[in-house]
Chain A
Amino acid sequence: MTGSVFDHERDAAWLSAFADGELDDQQEAAVKAHLAVCAACREEMVGLSRFDLVMASLRLKEAPPEAWEAIEARLSHRAARRAGWLLLTAGAAATFAWGAWLGVAALLGASGTPWWVKAAILAACVGGLLLLVSALRERLYARRRSRYEDIVR
């Protein structure tokens, strides 16, 4: 609110808001008082009302009857697909981890493997683990801090 006296330059938008019943009491009183003495603004109000009469006679077409079925089908397919991807990812990750563990254990246990190769394997394993933990932590942190990152305002 910018005051109780109507100013043409500053408060022009109040005329629309007045017609829509969106002003507070003070603003509304200011517009009423102004309309009582300003023929140009009264004419503007009539023009706006005429325009609103046309707009009130128009509406957006309703969604077609088959729209709900299409939305429902797409969402249910996506839900099933997501469950499939989750199972596939979990299964593949477990299988890979088990295979990797067997391979690393065999290499580390083999008597012919040089010590520096064993050290390199251990370093790679520890490094991979650190990267994984770091990435998971970052993701969890981003999830907590930026919940609306998917939404562009």
Chain B
Amino acid sequence: MTAPPPEHDGPNRSAPGRVDERLAAQERQLDGRDIERFLAGDQAGFEALVRRHWRRAYGIALGLTGSGDDAMDATQKAFLRVWKALPDFRCGEPFFPWLYRIVRNCALNQRRDEKRHRGEMPLEWVDRDDGRPNALDVAERVELGGRVWEEIQRLPLEQREVVMLFYFQGLKYREIAAALDIPLGTVMSRLHAARLRLRDRLTSGGAR
């Protein structure tokens, strides 16, 4: 890694990409309303639910399959399963953890089904907010991004999932715990182990 070393200055309570509490609560309320509409026979409720979650579902599938095409297929299959299983959804419970498990299963099945498309790089660099040029040139960015992705893919599934949800879905620890149905301490230890592993592999030049 060639980024300049930052000084450590305590916990980061507003890390980029974190999900805002108020928005999350609002989303849960909207989900509940749309599920009730769908269960009452209004298809528009389901459409609203899909519109709200499909990008996130695609992101999850992309993170697990590593391929845009596979992610599309997995997302479509996942929403078909949601459509079928929604009458059995326990109203009042948060929708996202339930959706996550369905998308995860579809994505992992898709990954088993489709061995093509390997070698895609589904990560991209975010431009700096302050408009200053990034410390890395384009070639370095591509090379580093590729290595990061490659090393993420080498992580055990249980660590990879936590990394994807934390860094690329912006979930908090307790939201990850709910989505994966694991204790908070397990999220903490898996994420820490994954971080150390990724950091060590990236700083050692991508050791195989």
Contacts and interface: CB of A to CB of B under 8 A. Distances in A.
Interface of A: 12-23, 28, 32, 35, 42, 45-64, 67-68, 70-72, 74-75, 78-79, 143, 147-148, 150-153
B29 interface: no
Contacts, number: 168
A31 to B, nearest CB: 9
B contacts with A: majority SS: helix
Contact of A63 (B58, B63, B185, B189): B58
Interface of B: 1, 3-8, 10-13, 15-17, 43, 46-47, 50-51, 54-55, 58-59, 62-63, 68, 71-72, 75-76, 79-81, 83-85, 88-90, 98, 101-102, 105, 122-126, 134, 144-145, 148, 166-168, 172-173, 181, 185, 188-189, 191-193, 195, 198-199, 202-203
Nearest to B181: A153
A53 B3 CA distance: 7
A49 B5 contact: yes
Contacts of B46: 75
B80 to A, nearest CB: 6
B187 to A, nearest CB: 9
B148 A55 contact: yes
Contacts of B50: 71-72, 75
Contacts of B144: 54
B188 to A, nearest CB: 4
A60 B165 CA distance: 11
Contacts of A143: 88
Contact of A71 (B13, B79, B81, B188): B79
Contacts of B173: 17, 20, 22
A60 B122 CA distance: 6
A63 B133 CA distance: 26
